[in-house]
C-alpha cells in the first residue's frame, strides 16, 4: 500500500480508501448493501490490516447507520483514532423536518454534531459537502464550514459532486474572508466515465486539490461480470440499481480491451479498471467498497498491478473522451505556440 499527501496538508492517506456505503441497508440504501455490524467490522479489519488508513462514510448512508457501524468497528478492533483518517459528509435529507437537508449553516452545525455522536469520536478528519444546494449561497455554506473547523470538530474540508467553477468560487470566498478552503474533491471517475477530465481535473491540478474517485468500477459494471453476452448477472447491484449512468456500448468496448490485458497480468477485469485509476497522476486515493472479504481483498490487490505503457496506451485510447469546445480550440491554437 502506498500513501499520498492530501493536497498540501501534510497528511498522508492510503492510495485506496475504504468506503462504507454497503453498511446498514436502510431504506433507499438497501439496494447497495445490507451489511450489519459483524460483517462491517470484518471488512474494516481486512482494510486496516492491508494498510488502508483512510475510511469514507456519509451521514446519509442508511440514514446514519453506516457511520454507527464504522465507528463501532474501529472501537471493537482497538484501532487508535490517530491511526486512521475518517471522512464523512453533509447535505442529504436526514429527517422529515423542513431544515433537515441542505448546506445552510444551521444544518451543517446540527449535522456535524450528529455525525460525531454516531461515529463515537470527537473530530472528523475530512468533512465533505455531499453535493450542490442551489437554495443556499456559497457564502453561507463556507461560513458554516468555517465555524465547525474553528470549533475543532473538523480538521479539513472537502467537496463532492460540484462543478469546477463552483469549487473555485467557494475557495475564492474562503480565501477572501480568511476562512478554511476545500482541499479535497470526491467525484465520480472511472475508465468508463472520464467526464471530469474536461474541466475538473485541470482545475484540481492547478489548485493542488486531492481527488478521491467514487464508484471506480462504474457501479459494478466493470466488475468483470458484465459483457455483451451477459448483460444481467442477477447478483450485482447494477441489476436492481442502475447507477451511475454510463454509455454501456462504450463500456462494453472498454471491457473488450481490458479482458486480454487482465488475462496477460493474471488478474481480474476489476483489478485492471482500478489499476488504471491508480496510474492517473491526478488521483490521490480511490474509494473502494465491498460486501464480502474476498471481494475487498481482490480490490486491494489491484495496488500491485503495474500496467505497461502499451497497456495504458490501449486503455486510454478506447476510453478517451470526444474532444469538445473549447478543448479542440486549445489544441488547434497551441500547435504553433513554440516556433519550429
Q: Which amino acids are annotated catalytic? A: 61
Query: Is the CB of residue 55 less than 8 Å from the CB of residue 45?
Result: no
Query: Is the CB of residue 19 less than 8 Å from the CB of residue 287?
Result: yes
Question: What's the rounded Cα separation, in Å, for the pair 62 and 84?
Answer: 22
Query: Is the CB of residue 46 less than 8 Å from the CB of residue 77?
Result: no
- Conformational region of residue 28, where left means phi above 0, alpha means psi within -120 to 50, and beta covers everything else: alpha
In degrees and rounded to multiples of 5, residue 223 shows phi and psi of: -70, -15
Give counts: helices (H), strands (E), the chain: 12, 10
Query: Strand, coil or helix: what is 152?
Result: coil
Which residues are within 8 A (CB) of 268 and not within 5 positions of it... i.e. 6 or more apart? 224, 262, 298
Question: What's the rounded Cα separation, in Å, for the pair 19 and 55?
Answer: 6
Query: Strand, coil or helix: what is 274?
Result: helix
Query: Is the CB of residue 55 less than 8 Å from the CB of residue 250?
Result: no
Q: Omega before 93 cis (within 30°)?
A: no
Question: What's the rounded Cα separation, in Å, for the pair 224 and 268?
Answer: 7
Query: Strand, coil or helix: what is 158?
Result: strand
Q: Assign 3-state DSSP to the chain and report helix, strand, coil percentages, each to 5.
A: 45, 15, 40
Question: What's the number of CA atoms in the CB half-sphere (13 Å) around residue 214?
Answer: 18
Question: What's the rounded Cα separation, in Å, for the pair 47 and 33?
Answer: 17
Amino acid at each position: 500500500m502506498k500513501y499520498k499527501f492530501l493536497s498540501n496538508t501534510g497528511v498522508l492517506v492510503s492510495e485506496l480508501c475504504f468506503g462504507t456505503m454497503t453498511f446498514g441497508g436502510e431504506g433507499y440504501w438497501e439496494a447497495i448493501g445490507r451489511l450489519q455490524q459483524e460483517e462491517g467490522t470484518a471488512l474494516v479489519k481486512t482494510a486496516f490490516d492491508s494498510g488502508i488508513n483512510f475510511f469514507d462514510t456519509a451521514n446519509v448512508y442508511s440514514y446514519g447507520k453506516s457511520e454507527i457501524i464504522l465507528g463501532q468497528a474501529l472501537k471493537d478492533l482497538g484501532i487508535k483514532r490517530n491511526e486512521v483518517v475518517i471522512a464523512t459528509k453533509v447535505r442529504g435529507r436526514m429527517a422529515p423536518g423542513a431544515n433537515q437537508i441542505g448546506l445552510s449553516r444551521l444544518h451543517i452545525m446540527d449535522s456535524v454534531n450528529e455525525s460525531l455522536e454516531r461515529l463515537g469520536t470527537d473530530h472528523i478528519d475530512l468533512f465533505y459537502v455531499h453535493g450542490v444546494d442551489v437554495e443556499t449561497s456559497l457564502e453561507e455554506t463556507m461560513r458554516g464550514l468555517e465555524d465547525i473547523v474553528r470549533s475543532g470538530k473538523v480538521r479539513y474540508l472537502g467537496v463532492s459532486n460540484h462543478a469546477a467553477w463552483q469549487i473555485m468560487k467557494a475557495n475564492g470566498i474562503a480565501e477572501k474572508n480568511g476562512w478554511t478552503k476545500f482541499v479535497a474533491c470526491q467525484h465520480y471517475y472511472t475508465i468508463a466515465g472520464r467526464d471530469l477530465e474536461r474541466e475538473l481535473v485541470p482545475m484540481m491540478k492547478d489548485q493542488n486539490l486531492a481527488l478521491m474517485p467514487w464508484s471506480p468500477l462504474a457501479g459494478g459494471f466493470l466488475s468483470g461480470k458484465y459483457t455483451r453476452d451477459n448483460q444481467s448477472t442477477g447478483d450485482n447491484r447494477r441489476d436492481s440499481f442502475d447507477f451511475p449512468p454510463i454509455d454501456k456500448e462504450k463500456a462494453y468496448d472498454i471491457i473488450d480491451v481490458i479482458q486480454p490485458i487482465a488475462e496477460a497480468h493474471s488478474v481480474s477485469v476489476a483489478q485492471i479498471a482500478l489499476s488504471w485509476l491508480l496510474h492517473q497522476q491526478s488521483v490521490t486515493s480511490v474509494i473502494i467498497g465491498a460486501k464480502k472479504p474476498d471481494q475487498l481483498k481482490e480490490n486491494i490487490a489491484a495496488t500491485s498491478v503495474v500496467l505497461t505503457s502499451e497497456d495504458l496506451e490501449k486503455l486510454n485510447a478506447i476510453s478517451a473522451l470526444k474532444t469538445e469546445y473549447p478543448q479542440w480550440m486549445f489544441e488547434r491554437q497551441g500547435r504553433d505556440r513554440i516556433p519550429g
